Amino acid sequence: MIRFRRLVLAALIPAAALSLGLPSVLAQTPSPAPAASASPSPAPSASPAPAASASPAPAPAPAPSPAASASPAPTSSPSPAASASPSPTAPPPAAAATPAPVQTADPFGLETTLEAKKVVMVKGTANWDSAFDTLIDAFKALNTLLDKQGIKPAGNAMIVYTSTDDTGFTFLAEIPVEQDPKNLSKDMSIGKSPEGKVLKFVHRGSYDNMDNTYEAITNHLDDKRLEAKDTFIEEYLTDPLKTAEDKLVINVFVPLK
C-alpha cells in the first residue's frame, strides 16, 4: 500500500453580516403645538359678537381684521422648526449593510474524470528524506529538454507514483506536450498521462506537509468504504521550479478500484 504524504485542508469561512438601525425622527411635531395654543388667545376678542347682533351686518366686518393681525404670529413659529429639520438628515449610508463575501473551501473528494494527454516523461526513484529535491531534479531535466528544442508545455507538470514503501518510492515525472521532443535520454520517453474516473483532492502548502492531506484522504476513503488503486497522481497547479515550497497548490487524484 502506498505510503502517504499528507496535509490538513483548513477552511476558514468568514461570514460577516452587519445590520444598521436607522433612528426615527420626530422633531417637527412639538413646535407647531405651542403655535396652536397661541391661536386661541385672539378668540376671546370675538366678544364684540353681541354688537353684531345689535347692529346690521357691517359690524362683523371689523371683527375678522384683528384675527388677521393675529395670524402672522403663528407663521413665524414654523420658521425655527424648519431650521431644526436639517439635523435628522445625518443617518449613515445603508451601503454599509452589504455582507462581506464568503470564502469556500477547496472541494474534497470530488468525483471527476481525467483525459489522457501526450506527455514527455522521465522515470525516477527517490527516498522520503529527499523526495521533493528528487522531483525538482526530474522536472528540471524535462524542462531543459523542452527549452533546448523550443517546445512549450501544454499543461501542468505531474508526478505519478508507481510504487512506494517505507524507505522511498518510484515515480514518473510528466509534462504534457503537443509535439514529440527528440534526443531523449535513456530514462525519458513519450507516453500518455493517466485517464479515467478519479477522486480529486487539493493540497496547499509545502510538499513535506502533504502527510496531513494524504491522511485526510485515507480517512475519507475509509468513511466512504472506497478502495484506491496503488497509483496516485499529483498535478502541480503552481510551477514547482518557480514557486516557494510553502506556496504550492497541488491537485491529488486518486483512481478507485
pLDDT tens per residue across span 145-167 = 999 999 999 999 999 999 999 99
pLDDT of residue 151: 97
Identify the CATH number of the domain in which residue 178 sits.
3.20.80.10
pLDDT of residue 181: 96
Mean pLDDT score of the chain? 74
User: What contacts 221, CB < 8 A, 6 or more positions away?
Assistant: 227, 228, 254
Is 103 within a domain? Answer: no
Mean pLDDT of 198-207: 96
CA 248 to chain centre: 20
Per-residue model confidence as pLDDT tens digits over 164-178: 999 999 999 999 999
User: Is residue 181 domain-shared with residue 124, that is, in the same domain?
Assistant: yes
User: Is residue 91 domain-shared with residue 116, that is, in the same domain?
Assistant: no
User: Is residue 141 domain-shared with residue 65, that is, in the same domain?
Assistant: no
User: Is residue 208 domain-shared with residue 81, that is, in the same domain?
Assistant: no
User: Is residue 159 domain-shared with residue 189, that is, in the same domain?
Assistant: yes
Domain boundary among 95, 125, 141: 95
User: Is residue 238 domain-shared with residue 132, that is, in the same domain?
Assistant: yes
User: Is residue 136 domain-shared with residue 239, that is, in the same domain?
Assistant: yes
Per-residue model confidence as pLDDT tens digits over 91-105: 555 555 555 554 457
Q: Which among 195, 191, 202 is positioned nearest to 142, based on CA atoms?
A: 191
Least confident of 20-24, 111-115, 205-209: 20-24
Is 13 within a domain? Answer: no
User: Is residue 85 domain-shared with residue 126, that is, in the same domain?
Assistant: no
User: Is residue 128 domain-shared with residue 39, that is, in the same domain?
Assistant: no
pLDDT at 64 over 60: no
Is 149 within a domain? Answer: yes
Is 82 within a domain? Answer: yes
Q: Which among 162, 220, 171 is positioned nearest to 8, based on CA atoms?
A: 220
pLDDT of residue 197: 94
Q: Tell me whether residue 174 is exposed, middle or buried, using C-beta atoms within 10 angstroms of its C-beta: 0 to 12, 13 to 18, 19 or more.
A: buried
Mean pLDDT of 117-123: 97
Per-residue model confidence as pLDDT tens digits over 25-46: 333 444 444 444 434 444 444 4
Domain boundary among 64, 95, 126: 95
Return the DSSP state at 228: B
Is 22 within a domain? Answer: no
Query: How far, in Å, CA of 157 to CA of 146, rounded?
Result: 13
Is 168 within a domain? Answer: yes
Query: How far, in Å, CA of 199 to CA of 130, rounded?
Result: 27
- For the chain, what is the domain count? 2
Domain boundary among 95, 120, 139: 95
pLDDT of residue 231: 87
User: Is residue 86 domain-shared with residue 115, that is, in the same domain?
Assistant: no
pLDDT of residue 88: 54
Least confident of 66-70, 81-85, 150-154, 158-162: 66-70
pLDDT of residue 92: 57
Is 163 within a domain? Answer: yes
User: Is residue 116 domain-shared with residue 177, that is, in the same domain?
Assistant: yes
Q: Which residue range forms the structural domain that includes residue 51?
A: 32-95
User: Is residue 124 domain-shared with residue 80, that is, in the same domain?
Assistant: no
Is 4 within a domain? Answer: no
